[in-house]
Amino acid sequence: MAVLCKPAVAVPEHVITLEETLGLARSLHRDHPRLDLALRLIENTGVQKRHLVQPIEQVLQHQGLTRRSVIYEAESKARVPAVVRQALDHAGLEPEQIDLIVYVSCTGFMMPSLTAWLINTMGFRPQTRQIPIAQLGCAGGGAAINRAHDFCTAYPDSNALIVACEFCSLCYQPTDLGIGTLLSNGLFGDGIAAAVVRGQGGTGISLERNGSYLVPDTEDWISYAVRPTGFHFQLDKRVPGTMEPLSPALRALAEQHQWNIGKLDFYIIHAGGPRILDDLTHHLDIAPHAFRHSRATLTQYGNIASAVILDALSRLFDERSSLPGHQGILAGFGPGITAEITLGTWTTGQ
């Protein structure tokens, strides 16, 4: 049975606090007719600080898509290897024992993917398979877990490495002044995470079932407009309410596995914002405390896109509260509107 091992997580050294974010919004958008609303929305996210790959002064200076692409490639190559090495150590594996690398990022573009560079520089075998995932946004972390699960189910003696590298600050667009954009400017942060799925052995979550669900006719609710200045994030005001149609999908997958969604032992949920967790509490009859790991990620790092689910999972490991046989769910949400869902049981492996 494939086992998802403890993730490794790193955030950049540059920090911006909630107070600094609000001050910048007041300064940069003092004449915005809906500034008060934007400030309230940012405060209500619960994000206390975020980490950035550049100092905020450089983030605010949009130097063009070419320069941002150079920064993305340089920073990912500088920062990802250490996180990968730590994830391999957590799983008790060496690079040559990895058969698949799933690389997730929606905040920068490289071709070939960073997977090729990792294989060439970190000792992975030339035969290592590569799956780059870009266009699932924040749901990409859940999709990566599911694709690694599928691979290790098909090839039970294989191991897969998941890498999520998100520099959301490189998508800042100073001329985008919609309320959704202003909210995003106070919500998203930068972070890197990695984890190994072992085909055999390992301590962590034994992956048992996965599924995906797309809410019909919502593909324009979360999207990028690709323009000469780069990726322009577009967020529809209806997005916070998406847990109402997605909750039945989470419940249905659990029922297919003969589990009660409201009675699980752990919940690792992508927290795009606090309302997602509040609505799941209501729609699925789950105690608010169950989402403490997701809320901690949101509070301390903001929304770090596809890396959220791995950071929240690392907090479950650090808490040391799980016992063999504990049942749980992992879920990521993103453009589409898409949910990527995983069910698994805690195991100490061999």
The residues that are catalytic are 138
Q: Is 324 helix (H, G, I), strand (E, B) or coil?
A: coil
- H-only helix segments in 163-238: 179-185
Direct distance between the N- and C-terminal alpha carbons of the chain, in angstroms, rounded to an integer: 12
- Omega cis (within 30) before 286: no
Give yes or no for a contact between 104 and 165, defined as CB atoms under 8 angstroms apart.
Answer: yes
* 94-to-36, 125, 184 alpha-carbon distances in Å: 52, 11, 38
Q: Is 169 helix (H, G, I), strand (E, B) or coil?
A: helix
Give yes or no for a contact between 315 and 294, defined as CB atoms under 8 angstroms apart.
Answer: no
CB atoms within 10 A of CB 191: 30
* 23-to-12, 26, 38, 79 alpha-carbon distances in Å: 22, 5, 12, 30
Residues paired with 9 in a beta bridge: 193
Q: What is the chain's alpha carbon radius of gyration, rounded to the nearest angstrom? A: 19
**H or E element that contains 345:** strand 338-347
